[in-house]
A and B are shown apart, each in its own frame.
Chain A
Amino acid sequence: MTITPGKSLRVAFGETVAELGDSDPRIVVLDGDLGSSTRADIFEAAHPDRFFQMGIAEQNLLGVAAGMATVGFVPFVSTFACFAVARALDSIRVLIAQPKLSVKITGGYAGLLAGMTGKTHLMFDDLAIMRVMANMVTVAPADEVEARQAIPAIVAHDGPVYLRLNRESAGNLFDDSYRFELGKSVVVREGGDVTVFSTGTHTVRVLEAAEILAAEGIEVHHVHVPTLKPLDEEGIVEAARRTGFVVTSEEHTIIGGLGGAIAETLADRHPVPVKRHGLADTFGESGPDDALLEKYGISAEKTAAAIRTLIADR
């Protein structure tokens, strides 16, 4: 696979939801006063009558979305991941997840790279928090192409969904021939030395890392896992069988996210050594993306080095 320049996931989100709104009158967008950042403004421009500004008040934002879902709308809630997941968690739990309402929660600016905001805004425990919640489908697309396909797929799913949207593109991994399927993982690179699972836009950096390692003679079997819940258990077991040694890599804390999900599944289904690579048990800080990737150890080079070390320590 080759990596090509792509639009950001937030632009893909705004454009795709606006397009879906053309043919599906059930779709509404509720904003937490961040539409110009999350690009919910693209939807507002196309469908001003179905765009609802809830102001800077996230608990109510998520609750209003639940109410709208009960009268037949499919609300997309648009705010930053930190505010949707952390600040409004009780609204999500009681009003959306427990009654299984069809609200699509988009967590913008998720992960480490959130535009020079610092630890208050850097949300990289979102996948862990959302995937442990009963009824909550959890999706983290890799690129613009996958995001454009994942959004109609989560609309078709009649229930609560958390959609993680990293702020910037890491490049496009997929092309128009790609077919996203909710709940399925996808092999992006074949190899026999180590199976590496990744999710979100970090998958693009992991693929770059795999190319670095290939030059050294290490062949990575690379599997992208866009749906953390429901997890593609069959695909994960099969990929683990391929090499008998698994590394997980994510722009997320290594506790409870993709690494946790893979380790749980393999412990139950196919016990093999699993090493988790990602963000340490910590909070983030402000900084340019490249500097953050370097310091927190998830640039392509650092990821390659980590996989190399994990293999050596095997």
Chain B
Amino acid sequence: MSSDTSLAGPGVAELEELARRARVHIVQSIATAHGGHLGGPLSAIDMLIALYFRILRIRPEEPDWPDRDRFVLSKGHSSIALYTALAMRGYFPVDELSTFDAVDSRMQGHPDMSITPGVDMSSGSLGLGFSGAIGIALGARAAGKDFTTYVMLGDGECNEGVVWEGAHVAERYALGNLVAIVDHNKLQQFGWHGEDVQHRLPPYTGSQLVDRWTAFGWKVFEMDGHDMADVLATVGAARDHTAGPAAIIAHTVKGKGVSYMENDYKWHSRVPTAEEFEIAMRELGETGGAA
């Protein structure tokens, strides 16, 4: 979309490099904390980098700027991906990522708007961040503000009934200032088993997510959530659709970027061993250790 490429900021190649470094930070942070989630953050991070470096109208030096675009990570367990994007964008020092999940840290396991700069809504109990985002969009309209509210959900998160409560209301109020991105990485934490218990089925298959969001009256887009050019174009188109709420079904790979994590449900929240960590760093093009 021309409206995106006209925005100032890094180009596709630079965004890809930022995302590579972000993946290194994510794996390092989880390894340091000996806890957290990896699969979801790695499926979401390309989109977060595109949002924070190109799409969102923000002022990192003024996190509470009233006219900023809002971003709500409703899939709050991918918090380390959000913190990484915020840190790299300058909201707080990148070094702070190493305090992830520690006592007194601003990098809590799930996002806490009351302590972390740049976090627009607390989340972690799935589905609720989406409701909060709808409230922000509804409030923006009532207050005459022109900013856009973006919210990212997981595909497993769409199991939650409150998601569909909110989808109905957002359509009812024709919230054209709201863009939902569903990180459709085809795996939830455990889910239903397939041909055997080692193989887990996707929470939604085929066109089910597209059909469901469409049925709820949303304008639905699809994109490859790892293709920066596609992300910029599709999110821009969704933002420019102002007749009502827009949902983007982002096709992604859980654990994207580290071969042994990709498409394996067990990496939803596993911590790499020392050996696995070295493999991950190598695959992410990190030879020196630090990103």
**Residue ranges of A at the interface with B (Cβ–Cβ < 8 Å):** 28, 49-50, 52-55, 57, 59-60, 62-73, 75, 90-91, 93-95, 98-100
Asked whether A68 lies within 8 Å of B139 as measured between CB atoms, the reply is yes
* A64 nearest CB neighbor, chain B only: B135
B142 A67 Cβ-Cβ under 8 A:
no
Query: Secondary structure of the B side of the interface?
Result: helix
- Interface membership of B125, Cβ < 8 A: yes
Stretch touching chain A among B81-89, B114-122, B237-245: B114-122
Contact A50 B142 (CB under 8 A): yes
The answer to whether residues A90 and B125 also contact, given A55-B169, A72-B143, A73-B142 and a CB cut-off of 8 A, is yes
Q: Assuming the A-B contacts A49-B142, A72-B139, A100-B114, are A67 and B165 also in contact, with contact meaning beta carbons closer than 8 angstroms in the complex?
A: no
Max chain B Cβ within 10 angstroms of own Cβ: one of A60, A70, A72, A95: A60
Contact A94 B143 (CB under 8 A): no
Let me know if A64 and B168 touch, CB within 8 A.
no
B60 at the interface (CB under 8 A from A): no
Enumerate chain B residues within 8 angstroms of A95, measured Cβ to Cβ: 121-122, 128, 131-132
- Nearest CB to that of B160 among chain A residues? A59
Looking at the complex, which one of B112, B120, B143 makes contact with A98 (CB distance below 8 Å)?
Answer: B112
A242 to B120, CA, bound (A): 50
- Chain A to chain B contacts (Cβ below 8 Å), 9 pairs: A59-B161, A63-B128, A64-B135, A67-B139, A69-B135, A71-B136, A72-B143, A95-B128, A95-B132
Question: Counting CB contacts under 8 A, is B229 at the interface?
Answer: no
Q: How far apart are the CA atoms of A59 and B136 in the complex, in Å?
A: 16
Contact across chains for B135 and A67 when beta carbons are under 8 A apart: yes
In the complex, whether B199 has a CB less than 8 A from a CB of chain A is no
A69 to B139, CA, bound (A): 8
Nearest Cβ distance between residue B124 and chain A, in whole angstroms? 7
- From 34 to 63 in chain B, residues with beta carbon under 8 angstroms from any chain A beta carbon are none
Please classify how large the interface on chain B is, using the bins under 10, 10 to 19, 20 to 34, 35 or more: 20 to 34
CB A96 to nearest CB in B, in angstroms, measures: 10
Q: Identify the closest chain B residue to A91 (Cβ).
A: B128
Contact A59 B132 (CB under 8 A): no
**Would B134 and A64 count as touching, CB distance under 8 A?**
yes
B 124-167 contacts with A by CB, 8 A: 124-125, 127-128, 130-140, 142-143, 145, 161-162, 165-166
Question: Is B172 at the interface (CB under 8 A from chain A)?
Answer: yes
Residues of A within 8 A of B123 (CB): 94
**Given the contacts A67-B121, A94-B125, A100-B114, A57 and B168 also touching, CB distance less than 8 Å:** yes
Judge whether B128 and A70 touch: CB under 8 Å.
Answer: no
- Contact: B142 with A91, CB < 8 Å? no
- A75 to chain B minimum Cβ distance, whole angstroms, is 8
| C-alpha spacing A28/B66, complex, angstroms | 19
B102 at the interface (CB under 8 A from A): no
Residues in B152-198 with C-beta less than 8 Å from chain A: 161-162, 165-166, 168-169, 172-173
Most chain A CB atoms below 10 A, which of B132, B136, B166: B132
A70:B135 contact, CB within 8 angstroms: yes
Closest Cβ neighbor of A26 among chain B residues: B143
Task: Kindly state whether residue B215 has any CB partner on chain A within 8 Å.
Answer: no
Contact of B1 with A by CB under 8 A: no
Q: How far is the CB of A35 from chain B (nearest CB, A)?
A: 15
Q: Among residues 56 to 93 in chain B, which have CB atoms less than 8 Å away from a CB atom of chain A?
A: 66
In the assembled complex, the CB of B62 is this many whole angstroms from the nearest CB of chain A, namely 16
Chain A hits for B166, CB < 8 A: 57, 60, 63-64
